[in-house]
């Protein structure tokens, strides 16, 4: 076999534009391959030389996580503060700040790195494969293992794994919108194109990341990884993923903190200068206040929460592609799902053949159904892998054993698609004249058969009313025909109906009840007949809000469909575009919409949803479009995921509320005292140490218990709520700080070292113990128990805070010993403080302003092309080192620009069926 020369001195790599205008046989020779593909040994050698077919990395990198820690504005402030202290000769303060900096970085790094390792493990559990010819035999390999010269076999719904030169095609249509922006599918064929054609006109090639919408093909890989056209775009976007709603909320919260920190520190700095305090001392103190008011370990707490949730979800058979998508899962309040496998068992069985033509027996009708399948008859009889569920049910039926594939010669086939909703074959039986057999949805097949007799319609309605899935079969003579097109599907004669049954799931009712208890409205979107869907819902005892068919939806304007969709429970006989439109309108009405689907026809809706959900057995394009992959297609598993998402959000908000309120109160107290007192109430290093101890105790929050009522409805970032909470509970904290100041100055006549030690201990005790009141809206301990980890961590931090001013390190930290009566007074003040906080909490949450409100404007998330590119690029992902190798490999010169020039368009189905 000829070898692909990859040496530096070799001729330039074959570009996709060159391959498009070159004969297929010549391209095979240029890439050192043949129609039978590469040998396994040659493929492995090329993989080692050229690197993997990857444009993303998913290996957890310790260095990148560490780098992110030092990009934090908070840690940069710490570095500046430590540097200024050292420059001014205050080595002790500089060392204290330096130690705090190292501890902060260490805590943040360890938690975030664990979260990245969890994400890496998740990614490894979702695999993407392609069928290639190696040593002349078809086998499945990971898409990242493809190399130039591999011959790939692709079918309906496949995502193209690399840039390919077509060798053979069968009615091939490809969706290239992710590259070109064109919504219409493109017809493909192996014929070379004219020289100078733009990228969009290279009809003899397929491009990485695009989707087969109809037909099948084989092609030889010309370019992989960053050398492919899609790879260039993905690499240009970098590794950064588009932000989720949760991340955007976190950004808005950070902006709030920035505003408060800038305002407060500016006032402190100016006030201290007006009081003629030393410039550098005033600057250091102001910087410490700015650092102290921010929850330093918020990223670590969020990462820990997400990593903990990810592990819990994985145990429940829920895989989340990106950790932050867990928050979006908990945010969901509307779920649109198909019924097969969710409400029903998903095991479709053939039950009966009902002829309507006196000249056709039940056995003959069954044989016609077998003939009108896309799979090779001999192969289908041995294995139903890859077939659609209805065809698979036919071939698995005992009646299929009598079928003799050698009797029949299939001359042509028109594959199923969601526009026609039928499959047609041109078949010759043992030398007899050819005939067309069409099998598909009864409504579409009957439309090709002329007037429908009343008895036939009554028979069909009876099956639909019984909840059966029905496929119609029709035929006509086609003597002399050797091939056919959709235009030949006409003047058919109905042969009868094939009846299938998919029983409702035994636990579906329980799962629906759980989702309802979580405040999630479930709606069904199905390609089935409306009566079948309604029957399933009726058997499960589901109260339907009404049914909208695809034809009815098509006749409605957007406002009309939006209003109707909010009330309806079932969307029947809907096309892929109609599903996506319904999802879009539900989102625009203000709901956070999840969509669950597993077929090619579900990809559009998955991309439109706030949270796309698929299953491990789904088609490539569905898994690619989803944010969450279920290992079990079960609504109960999904309910577990929603609860976990809400639990994580609830614990994150606990930390935010506690951190902002207590930090704001303490820093406001420090700011006021710095103006009133003749000395600084706390040294910069003491402020930072106080904040670090408090934050460290809160790292146990991700494992805390969450009250049941907090899981019953989705929660969202509410900056106004956080601001109101901060401005109520912060001043309460300050009141007790001022009481401590008065105690130290007027009762104990404290010197600066004693004053700082007393306030340090009081501050740690109050702001740490308040966690038990703020973590729940219930009465703490009596009606809501914290987790053991949080209890131990909080009490441990208080104990350490009391010990430090009494320890041998007290002198280094700037503390003086305290009299024993202070601790008795501290105990009394702490008890009074917690009681007052509990009273304020009950008042705060009883007010109308804190009740959930309907948003004035609908909350609509917009997802652009970058989002879709990033999600699709995730399937071409490998380790850091391997991807770096791929990026260093020589790139082919770029030719043309996507979307320019005329295109050979063929109007076809937007999204074919679930294969």
The single-letter DSSP state of residue 61 is -
Phi-psi region of 496 (alpha: psi -120 to 50; beta: other; left: phi over 0): left
Phi-psi region of 447 (alpha: psi -120 to 50; beta: other; left: phi over 0): alpha
Comparing 320 with 520, which gets the higher pLDDT?
Answer: 520
Catalytic annotation, residues? 338
What pLDDT digit, counting tens, does each position of 484-509 carry? 888 889 889 999 999 998 888 888 88
Residue 770: name the closest of 698, 709, 690, 821 by CA.
698
| pLDDT tens for each residue of 863-914 | 555 656 666 666 676 755 444 444 444 433 333 333 333 333 222 323 323 3
Closest CA to 697 of 765, 621, 622: 765
Number of helical (H) and strand (E) elements in the chain, helices listed first: 34, 23
Mean pLDDT (whole number) for 460-480 = 89
Within 8 A by CB and 6+ apart from 820, the residues are none
Choose the weakest-confidence range: 106-115, 235-244, 819-828, 866-875: 235-244
On whether the CB atoms of residues 190 and 168 are closer than 8 A, the answer is yes
CA distance 329 to 361: 51
The larger pLDDT score, comparing residue 847 to residue 112, is at 847
Residues 163, 223 contacting (CB under 8 angstroms): yes
CA distance 514 to 517: 5
- Tell whether the model's pLDDT for residue 799 goes beyond 90: yes
Tokens describing residue 649: 């959000």
Helix-helix angle 279-292:245-274, to 10 degrees: 150
* More confident call, 258 vs 476: 476
User: Which residues are paired to 438 by β-bridges?
Assistant: 424, 474
pLDDT at 825: 92
pLDDT of amino acid 6: 41
> Which of 353-362, 370-379, 639-648 comes out lowest in average pLDDT?
370-379
Handedness of CA 48, 52, 58, 64 (dihedral sign): positive
SS3 202: coil
Q: Which residue has the higher pLDDT, 210 or 289?
A: 210
Q: What are 45's two structure tokens? A: 């050698």
Per-residue pLDDT at 710 exceeds 80: yes
Which residues are CB-contacts of 893 (< 8 A; sequence separation ≥ 6)?
A: 12, 15
Residue 625: is its pLDDT beyond 50? yes
Compute the distance between CA of residue 851 and CA of residue 143 in angstroms, rounded to an integer: 50
- Sequence-ordered list of residues with C-beta below 8 angstroms from that of 721, at least 6 positions apart, any chain: 850
Strand pairing class (611-615; 628-630)? parallel
Q: What is the mean pLDDT of residues 729-748?
A: 90
Sign, CA torsion 784/790/795/798: negative
- Mean pLDDT across 788-808: 92
- Mean local confidence (pLDDT), 124-131: 72
pLDDT tens string 298-335: 666 776 777 777 777 777 778 877 666 776 788 888 99
Write the pLDDT tens digit of every residue in 439-466: 998 989 999 998 888 999 999 989 988 8
Q: Which helix (H) or strand (E) holds 243?
A: none
3-state secondary structure of 517: helix
> How is residue 650 written in tokens?
């609830």
Contact present, 683 and 756 (Cβ < 8 Å): yes
860 versus 201: the higher-pLDDT residue is 201
Both tokens of residue 603? 């990809």
DSSP 8-class letter at 321: S
Most confident of 2-11, 106-115, 627-636: 627-636
Which tens digit of pLDDT belongs to each residue from 746-760? 999 999 999 999 999
Report the distance separating Cα 197 and Cα 20, nearest Å. 9
Q: Are 505 and 529 in contact (CB under 8 A)?
A: no
pLDDT of amino acid 642: 87
Nearest-10 Cα torsion for 581, 585, 586, 588: 140
pLDDT tens-digit series, residues 205-230: 999 888 887 778 999 999 998 888 88
Residue 745 DSSP label: I
- For residues 643 and 711, give the distance between their C-alpha atoms in angstroms, rounded to a whole number: 6
- Hey, is 41 helix, strand or coil? helix
Residues in the chain: 915
pLDDT in tens, 396-407: 888 888 888 888
Helices 635-676 and 508-517: angle between axes, nearest 10 degrees: 20
Percent of the chain with pLDDT over 70: 81
Structure tokens at 418: 């969601």
CA-to-CA distance for 91 and 83, rounded, in angstroms? 10
Q: What is the mean pLDDT of the chain?
A: 79
- Residue 583 predicted with pLDDT over 50: yes
The dihedral built from the CA positions of residue 352, 356, 361 and 363, taken in this order, carries a sign that is: negative
Tokens describing residue 276: 């003629």
For the segment 732-761, the average pLDDT, to the nearest whole number, is 91
Report the pLDDT value the prediction gives residue 289, as an integer from 0 to 100.
Answer: 73
**Tens digit of each residue's pLDDT (9 = 90 or more) over 562-582:** 899 989 999 998 888 888 889
Q: Is the pLDDT of residue 10 over 60?
A: no
User: Is pLDDT larger for residue 278 or for residue 85?
Assistant: 278
CA dist 571 → 220, 482, 582 (Å): 41, 40, 9
Query: Tens digit of pLDDT for each residue in 770-785?
Result: 888 888 888 888 888 9
Output the six-digit token pair for 38: 């590469």
Max Cα–Cα distance, the chain, nearest Å = 114
Which backbone phi and psi does 765 adopt, to 5 degrees? -65, -50
CB 900 within 8 A of CB 586: no
- Report pLDDT for 299: 66
**pLDDT tens-digit readout, 14-51:** 888 889 989 999 999 999 999 889 999 999 999 988 88
């Amino acid at each position: 076999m000829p070898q692909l020369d990859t040496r530096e001195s070799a001729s330039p790599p074959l570009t996709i534009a060159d391959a498009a205008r070159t004969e297929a046989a010549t391209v095979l020779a240029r890439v050192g391959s043949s129609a039978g593909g590469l040998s396994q040994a040659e493929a492995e050698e090329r993989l080692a030389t050229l690197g993997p077919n990857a444009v993303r990395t998913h290996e957890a990198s310790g260095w990148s996580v560490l780098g992110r820690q030092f990009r934090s504005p908070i840690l940069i402030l710490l570095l500046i503060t430590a540097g200024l202290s050292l420059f001014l000769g205050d080595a002790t303060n500089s060392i204290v700040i330096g130690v705090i900096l190292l501890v902060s970085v260490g805590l943040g790094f360890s938690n975030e790195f664990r979260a990245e390792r969890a994400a890496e493990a998740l990614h490894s559990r979702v695999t993407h494969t392609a069928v290639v010819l190696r040593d002349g035999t078809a086998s499945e390999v990971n898409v990242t293992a493809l190399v130039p010269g591999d011959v790939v076999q692709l079918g309906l719904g496949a995502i193209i794994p690399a840039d390919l030169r077509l060798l053979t095609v069968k009615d091939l249509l490809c969706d290239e919108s992710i590259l070109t922006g064109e919504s219409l599918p493109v017809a493909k064929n192996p014929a070379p194109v004219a020289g100078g054609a733009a990228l969009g006109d290279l009809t003899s090639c397929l491009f990485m990341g695009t989707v087969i919408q109809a037909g099948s093909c084989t092609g030889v890989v010309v370019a992989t990884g960053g050398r492919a056209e899609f790879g260039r775009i993905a690499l240009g976007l970098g590794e950064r993923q588009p932000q989720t709603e949760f991340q955007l909320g976190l950004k808005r919260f950070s902006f709030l903190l920035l505003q408060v920190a800038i305002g407060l520190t500016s006032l402190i700095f100016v006030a201290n200068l007006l009081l003629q305090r030393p410039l550098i001392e005033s600057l250091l103190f102001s910087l410490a206040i700015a650092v102290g008011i921010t929850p330093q370990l918020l990223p670590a707490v969020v990462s820990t929460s997400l990593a903990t949730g990810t592990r819990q979800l994985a145990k429940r058979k829920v895989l989340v592609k990106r950790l932050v998508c867990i928050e979006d899962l908990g945010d969901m309040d509307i779920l649109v799902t198909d019924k097969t496998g969710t409400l029903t068992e998903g095991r479709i069985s053939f039950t009966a053949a009902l002829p309507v033509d006196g000249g056709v027996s039940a056995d003959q009708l069954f044989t016609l159904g077998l003939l009108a399948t896309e799979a090779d008859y001999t192969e289908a009889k041995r294995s139903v892998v890859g077939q659609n569920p209805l065809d698979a049910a036919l071939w698995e039926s005992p009646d299929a054993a009598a079928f003799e594939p050698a009797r029949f010669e299939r001359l042509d086939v028109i594959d199923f698609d969601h526009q026609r909703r039928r499959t047609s074959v041109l078949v010759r039986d043992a030398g007899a004249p050819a005939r067309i057999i069409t099998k598909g949805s009864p409504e579409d097949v009957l439309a090709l058969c002329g007037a429908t007799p009343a008895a036939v319609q009554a028979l069909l309605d009876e099956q639909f009313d019984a909840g059966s899935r029905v496929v119609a079969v029709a035929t006509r003579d086609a003597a002399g025909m050797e091939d056919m097109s959709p235009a030949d599907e006409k003047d058919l004669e109905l042969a009868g109906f094939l009846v299938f049954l998919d029983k409702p799931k035994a636990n579906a009712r329980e799962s629906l009840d759980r989702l309802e208890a979580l405040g999630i409205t479930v709606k069904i979107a199905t390609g089935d007949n409306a009566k079948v869907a309604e029957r399933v819902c009726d058997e499960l005892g589901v109260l339907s809000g009404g049914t909208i068919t695809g034809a009815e939806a098509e006749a409605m304007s957007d406002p009309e469909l939006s209003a109707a969709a909010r009330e309806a429970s079932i969307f029947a006989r809907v096309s892929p575009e109609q599903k996506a439109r319904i999802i879009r309108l539900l989102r625009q009405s203000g709901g956070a919409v999840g969509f669950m689907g597993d077929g090619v026809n579900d990809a559009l809706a998955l991309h439109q949803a706030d949270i796309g959900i698929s299953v491990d057995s789904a088609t490539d394009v569905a898994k690619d479009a989803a944010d969450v992959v279920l290992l079990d297609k079960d609504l109960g598993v999904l309910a577990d995921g929603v609860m976990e998402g809400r639990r994580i959000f609830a614990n994150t908000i606990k930390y935010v509320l506690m951190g902002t309120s207590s930090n704001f109160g303490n820093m406001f107290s420090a700011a006021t005292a710095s103006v009133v007192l003749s000395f600084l109430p706390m040294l910069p290093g003491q402020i930072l140490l106080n904040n670090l101890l408090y934050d460290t105790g809160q790292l146990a929050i991700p494992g805390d218990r969450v009250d049941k009522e907090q899981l019953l409805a989705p929660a969202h970032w509410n900056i106004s709520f956080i601001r109101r909470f901060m401005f109520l509970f912060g001043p309460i904290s300050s009141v007790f700080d001022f009481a401590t100041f008065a105690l130290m100055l007027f009762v104990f006549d404290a010197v600066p070292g004693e004053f700082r030690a007393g306030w340090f201990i009081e501050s740690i005790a109050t702001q740490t113990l308040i966690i038990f009141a703020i973590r729940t809206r219930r009465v703490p301990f009596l009606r809501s128990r914290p987790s053991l980890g949080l209890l131990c961590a909080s009490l441990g931090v208080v104990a350490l805070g009391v010990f430090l001013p009494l320890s041998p390190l007290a002198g280094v930290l700037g503390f003086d010993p305290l009299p024993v009566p202070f601790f008795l007074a501290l105990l009394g003040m702490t008890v009074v403080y917690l009681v007052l906080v509990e009273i304020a909490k009950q008042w705060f949450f009883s007010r109308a302003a804190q009740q959930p409100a309907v948003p004035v404007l609908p909350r609509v998330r917009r997802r652009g092309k970058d989002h879709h590119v990033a999600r699709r690029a995730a399937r071409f992902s490998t380790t850091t080192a391997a991807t770096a190798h791929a990026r260093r490999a020589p790139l082919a010169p770029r030719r043309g620009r996507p979307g320019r020039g005329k295109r050979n368009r063929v109007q076809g189905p937007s999204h074919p069926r679930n294969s």
